Amino acid sequence: MDSTTTVVKGIQPATVDLRGLLKRFGKDVVAVNDVDLFIERGELLTLLGPSGCGKTTILRLIAGLERPTAGQILIDDDDVSRLPAYLRDITMVFQSYALFPHMNVFENVAYGVRVAKRPKQEIEERVHEALAMVGLEDYGKRATNALSGGQQQRVALARALVIRPRVLLFDEPLSNLDAKLRKRVREDIRSLQQRLGITSVYVTHDQEEALAISDRVVVMNQGIIEQIGSPHVLYTRPASRFVADFIGSANFIPGHYDGQAIDVLGYRRPHVQDMASGPVTVMVRPEAIEFAREGEEGVEATYLSSAYLGPVTEFIFDIGGVEVFATISGLGMSVAERGDTVRLRFNEAGVSLLPPE
Amino acid sequence: MAVTTPTTPSRTGNGMGLRFSGAWLPALVAIVTYLTLPFGRPGRPFLTIEPDLYALALGAPLLWIVLLGAVASFVVSLLRLNTAVRGDVLIATGTVGLGAGVLWFILSATPFGIGALLTLAALALVLGHALSESGRIQGDAFIATSILVVSLFVILFIIYPLFTVLRAAVIIDGSFDLSQLRRTLTHPLFFFLDNPRSQIDEIGLTLRWGMVVAVLTGAWAVFRRRSVPVVALRLVLGGIAGLIIGVLLYGRGALPTSLLTVAIVAPTCTLLGLAFALLGQRARFKPIRRSLDVISVLPIITPPFILAFAMIFLLGRRGIVTHGLFDMSTNWIYGIPGVAIAQILAFTPIAYLLLRGSISSLNPALEEAAQTLGAGPWTTMRTITWPLVRPGLAAAFLLSMIESLADFGNPIILGGDRNYLATEVYLSLTGRFNPNEAAAYGVVLLALVLGAFFIQRLWLGGGSFVTVTGKPSSGALAPIPRVLEIGLTLVLFVWTVFVAALYISIVVGSFAQLWGVNYTFTTRHYEDFMRAGWPVFLYTARVAAISAVPAMLLGFLVAYLVSRHRFFGRRFVEFGSLLSFATPGTVMGVAYIFAFNTGPWLLTASATIIILALVFRNMPVAIRAAVAGLAQIDPSLEEASTMLRARSLTTLRRVLFPLLVNTLVTGLIFAFVSAMTAVSQVIFLVSPGNQLATVLLLGWVEQGQLGRAAAMGTILIVSMLFTILVVLGLAQRISARVVRVEG
């Protein structure tokens, strides 16, 4: 997609307010459990979580494809909880793209304006405008199955934008693309979203994708919200063990906190975090672990095993009976025997505290 | 079918709702039709305008409430209210109007007129809009109205008629009375033991059968060293089985006769179906598969009793084999042997079709795995193939059983002095003029068939139309053992020759002067047919065509609602459609007579009732086709359309219909063809001026007018074959174009 400054006239982004949203399937399955969430005008908010955590259900509830069991959905202060999907100014980009197989690219994109019975000329203008936005001006006559996965995804995006929705929903839009393309398309989506300033809700189970694309990320688990925050906050200050584990990987080492510093097996490192003094669980990111240089403070660890991966080496150590996983770059240690004792230090950026187990 | 009114949704300034309800138009229509068209009708014709029968002239309080409901709905739909709240109010006004109208018809038992039909339909549409806008039903007004209408249809045309059969069996002259039921069930026509062959009395003989089988099964259990309670259980079960065998052997009434026929037909059909399915998929010799394709089409294009009729030509008293070849003059085909053979010929293809699915969904890798573990072909078949096809066999068995019990045409032609449950339903109503007796037979038959049907459903798990369609997986199929293949091929060969001879004999018979006596060529029978049968044939084709369209649309709608929407009453709609599929045709025919002979639904002796019966009879055929078609389409296509603000009717028209052209045309053709060849459910409903081809054909066979019956049979078969080949070929070409776009 080239970055010509096409601006879609008439998109008026809205806020979305979920209040006490509850969705039950059958009698026992609670897919979304009393969720409160406010989505700012023009922001891209990602719902992130493992499969079955309720993120897609929330998306479908906002879309109107499902009815909430309880709670309210407000779009710009209008309660739309009981409004049929086709009356909400919301649209969705599907995981499978859901391009109509019996229509060409132009007809697919034109669908929404045709259904709204707009005059012929307006239809053509808006379709061309939308196709230009995603960089597919000359593809109108193509059959959709003659396009690559990335192009199909962009057609789906153009088809959604053409009706000028007030909220745009993405349901795992990149999961059918290969890894390289995925990076490209997600950048395209992000830049288009920022250019148009359209309120967007994005569902994914890929944490890297979530961090890369979002203004804010909502981490969900078993129908409830674990944490809401910017990508940076989620990574550096996870609110729970689940969030720490789900976004990136993490080690959890028991320790003690006194308001100024952490103590792990006698290794004191200064740390400031809003946390009561006493026993804590110290979360350490694998890439925050380094070998302590001569004379530096560090924690005693036993070397267990390692795997050389080129740019980094993956180590497994034992710290006070806890297995700790570390990725250390460079040629930190070339030869070691199982059982050797080493001294390790933790980098400030990759350390955070959680309540004790 | 109800259609949503094209209103333009006007959004309020910054809100997302409807400024006024889409219900305003149907409400207005309800008011106008109420005022301008008659609510009742004096007799059968629909379009007579009788001033006395206007709702205002009738002046009943309930009818005032109908008008009140319509006017209130109209006013409320234009009020500026929150969409959901207004919807709730409209539900109330719509329900009051519709409910009052329905109640008035039930209480006054007046045949409804065109005005009532339109007014109440419009009020249903109001209710549909209301249910949708209030958010009580997830979906737009079209979906909500469809759910409402489909549920009403299921109640009115499936559940209610069957209920009237139950009622007629136990309620006589307005009061609960079991005497007729008792009289029917103890009558020799229903159940009667007789032993014409020896001096011993039949009850004693039956008991002896029970004892012998009990002792045998008990001894076998002892021989296998089972524990004492097991032996005792086997003794009891053996005794019961023996008694059943005895009853079947010496029984003469309708119940034992039907059951004995089932006991012969169902296992035979299942085994033959299995044999053909195995051959069809794994035969080394290709032409065998072609001939099996032909076999699978035969039951569709042939009226159910044509083979029985052809058997008279081959094996009857003047049959070309029995009389011409062996110079016998025998009546042996009249009775259980003839009926059983005719049913086996008619129902084996159905069992074959069912088993073909379950054989082709076997994963060849499993058999290959067995063979790499050292199992030979026989061992593989015994330990892998057999256990995997067992559920399919059970399904085929039960289906053959249901078909055999429900069969009407074959027993009426070949039954001879034996009477059958399905034919007794008909004979007691039209021969003995005893509706209560007919109802009693109907109840027994219905209980047996539904019992078998729901056992099958339970067995296969789930009462859903959405059956698992096995994808034929890749991999080399293990050929069947050569000895088995030769044996099966031989069976198929005999079968094919016999069936071919039957079909040929009908064609030959239609050109022969007098079958069995004078075989000189003549076109006399065709001249007779042109005179007496052609108008009826054309009329039948018209009725069948008229019924096929709503059958297909309704079937598609039910399939769409059931497989794509979750709503209150979904299981009920599914159940009702299954019920209309499983109910024997004669029972449904009687039910329609009972249900639509009086009161608001005075419909008997009209083309309307025949069309209605055919619509609801053939709807399940269309449902199956549509469910299979819908399963191929990703539901997110429809959701994408909804998300682009298309209403569901638009989605159906622009997305689903183009993708399902082939399925819809196929459904239409099958609904048409099966309406053309139906006999059991419509035989009650024909009347002078509303005669149908199959019924006329059956009458000619019974009167011994075999020549012209053969002529009509030939024309029926040829025209049905032509319809299927030409139209399906056309549909496939259309869909091939769509698929090419799809890739």
Chain segment A173-207, per-residue pLDDT in tens: 998 888 888 888 899 999 999 998 999 999 999 99
Residues of B in contact with A89 (CB under 8 A): 11, 16
| CATH code for the part of the protein at B523-743 | 1.10.3720.10
User: According to the model, what pLDDT value does residue B741 have?
Assistant: 45
Q: Which residues of B588-601 are buried (b: 16+ CB within 10 A; e: fewer)?
A: bbbbbbbbbeeebb
Express as a percent the part of chain B with pLDDT over 70.
90
Burial group, residue A321, by CB count within 10 angstroms (0-12, 13-18, 19+)? exposed
The continuous run of DSSP H or E covering B519 comes out as: strand B518-521
Residues written for chain B: 743
Sheet holding A16-25: strands in order across?
Answer: A29-39, A16-25, A70-75, A78-79
Query: How large is the greatest C-alpha to C-alpha distance in chain B, in angstroms?
Result: 96
Inform me whether the pLDDT recorded for B477 exceeds 70. no
Instruction: Output B57 or A214, whichever has higher pLDDT.
Output: A214
CA distance B87 to B198: 77
Residue of A nearest to B741 (CA): A102
User: According to the model, what pLDDT value does residue B473 have?
Assistant: 46
User: Which of A65, A82, A147 would you mutate first to test chain B, the one with the most B CBs within 10 A?
Assistant: A82
CA distance B707 to B517: 12
Lowest mean pLDDT: which of A102-116, B357-371, B651-665?
B357-371
Identify the bridge partners of residue B355 per DSSP, sorted by sequence position: none
Give the three-state DSSP class for A315. Answer: strand
Residue A54, min C-alpha distance to chain B (Å): 18
User: Which of A77, A95, A102 would you mutate first to test chain B, the one with the most B CBs within 10 A?
Assistant: A102
C-alpha angle B522-B526-B532 in degrees, rounded to nearest 5: 140
Q: Concatenate the DSSP letters of all residues of B222-264 into one string.
A: HHTT--HHHHHHHHHHHHHHHHHHHHHHHB-SHHHHHHHHHHH
Identify the bridge partners of residue A48 per DSSP, sorted by sequence position: A204, A219
Q: Do B655 and A91 touch (CB under 8 A)?
A: no
Express as a percent the part of chain B with pLDDT over 90.
15
Inform me whether the pLDDT recorded for B625 exceeds 60. yes
Burial group, residue B712, by CB count within 10 angstroms (0-12, 13-18, 19+)? buried
Residues of B in contact with A98 (CB under 8 A): 634, 636-637, 639-640
What are the residues whose beta carbons fall under 8 Å from the beta carbon of B701, sequence distance 6 or more? B305, B309, B312, B413, B709
Q: Does A82 touch chain B (CB under 8 A)?
A: yes
User: According to the model, what pLDDT value does residue B294 have?
Assistant: 76
Residue B739, min C-alpha distance to chain A (Å): 8
Proportion of chain B in helix, strand, coil states, percent, rounded to 5: 75, 0, 25
pLDDT band at residue B567 under the 50/70/90 scheme: confident
B310, B363, B740 from B471: Cα distances, Å: 38, 9, 22
pLDDT band at residue A3 under the 50/70/90 scheme: very low
- A80 φ, ψ (degrees, to nearest 5): -110, 10
Inform me whether the pLDDT recorded for B393 exceeds 70. yes
- Alpha-carbon Rg for chain A, nearest whole angstrom, is 25
CA distance B417 to B189: 11
CA distance A245 to A250: 6
Residues of A in contact with B659 (CB under 8 A): 101-102
Cα first-last separation, chain B:
34
A304, A333, B314 from A336: Cα distances, Å: 9, 7, 95
What is the 8-class DSSP label of residue B654?
A: I
Q: Which residues of A189-225 are buried (b: 16+ CB within 10 A; e: fewer)?
A: bbebbeebebbbbbbbbbbebbbebbbbbbbbbebeb
Q: Looking at this protein, which amino acid is placed at residue B182?
A: R
Inform me whether the pLDDT recorded for B16 exceeds 80. no
Residue B195, min C-alpha distance to chain A (Å): 59
Inform me whether the pLDDT recorded for B3 exceeds 50. no
CA distance B350 to B297: 10
Strand-pair category, B175-176 with B171-172: antiparallel
Contact A353, A257 (CB under 8 A): yes
User: According to the model, what pLDDT value does residue B737 have?
Assistant: 56
What domains sit in chain A, N to C, each tagged with a CATH number?
Answer: 16-236 (3.40.50.300), 249-354 (2.40.50.100)
CA distance B426 to B7: 51
| Continuous H helices in B632-656 | 635-643, 648-651
Inform me whether the pLDDT recorded for B466 exceeds 60. no
Residue of B nearest to A100 (CA): B637
Residue B743, min C-alpha distance to chain A (Å): 6
Query: How large is the greatest C-alpha to C-alpha distance in chain A, in angstroms?
Result: 78
Residues of B near A (Cβ–Cβ under 8 Å) read 9, 11, 14-18, 83-84, 87, 132-135, 138-140, 634, 636-637, 639-647, 650, 654-655, 658-659, 738, 741-743
- B74 φ, ψ (degrees, to nearest 5): -60, -45
Q: Do B83 and A83 touch (CB under 8 A)?
A: yes
Q: Which of B382, B346, B191, B209 is nearest to B266 (CA)?
A: B346
CA distance B340 to B320: 20
Q: Do B138 and A66 touch (CB under 8 A)?
A: yes
Q: Do B654 and A115 touch (CB under 8 A)?
A: yes
User: According to the model, what pLDDT value does residue B467 have?
Assistant: 36
Instruction: Output A63 or A86, whichever has higher pLDDT.
Output: A63
The dihedral of CA A291, A293, A299, A300: what is its sign?
Answer: positive
Q: Do B646 and A67 touch (CB under 8 A)?
A: no
User: According to the model, what pLDDT value does residue B739 have?
Assistant: 47
| Token digits of residue B265 | 């037909």
Q: What is the pLDDT of residues B366-381, one digit of tens each?
A: 777 777 787 777 787 7
Q: Which of A44, A43, A37 is nearest to A61 (CA)?
A: A37
Q: Do A100 and B637 touch (CB under 8 A)?
A: yes
C-alpha angle A223-B16-A24 in degrees, rounded to nearest 5: 20
User: Which of A59, A100, A126, A147 would you mutate first to test chain B, the one with the most B CBs within 10 A?
Assistant: A100
Q: How distant is the alpha carbon of residue A40 from its chain centre? A: 16
Contact B467, B257 (CB under 8 A): no
Express as a percent the part of chain A with pLDDT over 70.
95
Inform me whether the pLDDT recorded for B9 exceeds 70. no
Q: Do B645 and A63 touch (CB under 8 A)?
A: no
pLDDT band at residue A107 under the 50/70/90 scheme: very high
- Window 29-68 of A: residues touching B by CB (8 A cutoff) are 63-67
The continuous run of DSSP H or E covering B121 comes out as: helix B114-133
| Token digits of residue A158 | 């153009």
| Token digits of residue B355 | 């088993």
| Token digits of residue B170 | 């136990």
CA distance B487 to B663: 38
* Range among B87-96, B238-247, B356-365 rated most confident: B87-96
User: According to the model, what pLDDT value does residue B702 have?
Assistant: 85
Strand-pair category, A251-257 with A224-229: unpaired
Contact B83, B23 (CB under 8 A): no
What are the residues whose beta carbons fall under 8 Å from the beta carbon of B221, sequence distance 6 or more? B230, B231, B234, B235
Residues written for chain A: 357
Residues of B in contact with A99 (CB under 8 A): 640
Q: Which residue has the tokens 């008026």?
A: A12
Q: Which residues of B128-149 are buried (b: 16+ CB within 10 A; e: fewer)?
A: bbbbbbbbbbbbbbbbbbbbbb
Residue A125, min C-alpha distance to chain B (Å): 17
Q: Do A101 and B741 touch (CB under 8 A)?
A: yes
Region of A15 please: left (phi>0), alpha (psi -120 to 50) or beta: beta
Q: Do B16 and A159 touch (CB under 8 A)?
A: no
The continuous run of DSSP H or E covering A341 comes out as: strand A341-346
Contact A148, A178 (CB under 8 A): no
CA distance B557 to B565: 11
Give the three-state DSSP class for A312. Answer: strand
What mean pLDDT value characterizes chain B? 82
Strand-pair category, A199-204 with A167-171: parallel
Residues of chain B with CATH 1.10.3720.10: 253-518, 523-743
Residues of B in contact with A80 (CB under 8 A): 16
Give the three-state DSSP class for B636. Answer: helix
Q: What is the pLDDT of residues A260-298, one digit of tens each?
A: 899 998 888 888 888 888 999 999 999 999 888 888 888
Contact A194, A133 (CB under 8 A): no
Q: Which of A301, A331, A330 is nearest to A316 (CA)?
A: A301
CA distance B93 to B95: 6
| CATH code for the part of the protein at B253-518 | 1.10.3720.10
Once rounded to an integer, what is the mean pLDDT over residues B112-140?
85
What mean pLDDT value characterizes chain A? 88
Once rounded to an integer, what is the mean pLDDT over residues A153-178?
91
